[in-house]
Amino acid sequence: MSLKEKIDLNKLPCHIAIIMDGNGRWAKMRGRPRTFGHKNGVASVRDTTEAAAELGVKYMTLYAFSTENWKRPKFEIDALMHLLLQTINKETKNLNKNNIRLRTIGNLSTLPRHIYSGLMNTIENTSGNNRMTLTLALSYSSRWEIIETTKQIAQKVKDNIITLDDIEQEFYSSCLSTAGIPDPELLIRTSGEYRISNFLLWQIAYSELYFTPKLWPDFRKEDLYEAIIDFQRRERRFGKTSEQI
Ligand code: IPE
Ligand code: IPE
Ligand code: MG
C-alpha cells in the first residue's frame, strides 16, 4: 500500500499551513550560497501544492516571507523577491491548469512595486479557480495582522458602526486577513525547528502541529502524505474527554 493510499480521504484536513524552512542550511550543506536553497525550494512548493490539490485539500497557506525576514542581507531579500516574481509569472499557467486560486496575506505595501503588480496579475488571473485556494504569506507576521485588525475594529467602534458587544471570536476572525479561510487543522514546519515564528497565531489556536527534520528543498508529495497520515492518527478533543468523542 502506498503512502497516498493510506490517507483517509474522508478525514482530510480542509486547510494545511506550512512554515517552509531550511533553504539556507540545505544550500550550505552543498557548499552553495543560501539563494541556491531558495531556488531549489520552488520545486517543493510546486510538488506540495499539486499533491494537496490532487488529494482534495481546499486551502493551503505557505509562509514565504516574514516581516522579520526584512532584516536579512539586502542581496538575499532581492534574490527572494526576484524568485517570487519569476515563480508566480511562470506558474500562473499551472495554477490555472490545476484550477488553483492564488491569494496573499501580509503587508503587501512593503513589497517592491513590480513584485506587487505581478502578484496582483496572478491573483486576478486565477480568481475564478475553485479546486484549492493557495495563500502565500508575504511580508507577513501574525502580530502585525492582529494589531492591524484591532485598529480597524477600534475605528469601527469609534465611528459607531459596531458596539463592543459585536466583538466576538467569529467577528474577529472575519476581520483578519484570512477572512473566509477556515483555521488550519494541520500546521507543518520543516527543518527541525520547533517554533511558530509569528505565523497565524490566532488561526492555529487548535491546529495539530507537525514538525519534520526534512529541509524544505527536500520536501515532496510523500512528505505531505506522511504529515497527513500522522494528523489522521490523532484524536482532536477540543477540550472534551476522549469518551465524549
Ligand atoms: C526558509 O528558509 C525560507 C525563508 C525564510 C524565506 P531559510 O532561508 O530560513 O533557511 P534556513 O533556516 O536559514 O536554513
Ligand atoms: C520563518 O522562517 C519564516 C518563513 C518560513 C518565511 P525563518 O527561518 O525566518 O524563522 P526563524 O527566524 O528561524 O524563526
Ligand atoms: Mg529559517
Residue 152 belongs to a domain:
no
Instruction: Identify the pLDDT of residue 209.
Output: 98
- Catalytic member of 21, 23, 40, 223: 21
Which string of DSSP letters, residue by residue, matches 15-53?
EEEEE---HHHHHHHTT--HHHHHHHHHHHHHHHHHHHH
Whether 218 sits among the annotated catalytic residues: the reply is no
Cell reading at 3: 503512502
Instruction: Identify the pLDDT of residue 104.
Output: 98
| Mean pLDDT (whole number) for 48-67 | 98
Residue nearest to atom 10 of ligand 2 (CA): 197
Instruction: Identify the pLDDT of residue 8.
Output: 98
Q: How far apart are CA 218 and CA 20, in angstroms?
A: 11
Parallel/antiparallel/unpaired status of strands 59-66 and 208-211: unpaired
Question: Does the C-beta of 195 come closer than 6 Å to ligand 2?
Answer: yes
Whether 10 sits among the annotated catalytic residues: the reply is no
Mean per-residue pLDDT of the chain: 97
Residue 219 belongs to a domain:
yes
Instruction: Identify the pLDDT of residue 226.
Output: 98
Instruction: Identify the pLDDT of residue 119.
Output: 96
Instruction: Identify the pLDDT of residue 141.
Output: 98
Output DSSP code: residue 183. P
How many structural domains is the chain composed of? Answer: 1
Residue 158 belongs to a domain:
no
Tell me the residue range of the domain where 213 lies: 12-141+183-233
pTM over 0.85: yes
How far lies 65's CA from each of 69, 99, 127, 165, 210, in Å? 6, 24, 22, 35, 20
Q: Return the amino acid letter for 231.
A: F
pLDDT digits (tens, 9 = 90+) for 173-192: 999 999 999 999 999 999 99
CATH number for the domain including 129? 3.40.1180.10
Residue 167 belongs to a domain:
no
Question: Does the C-beta of 69 come closer than 6 Å to ligand 1?
Answer: yes
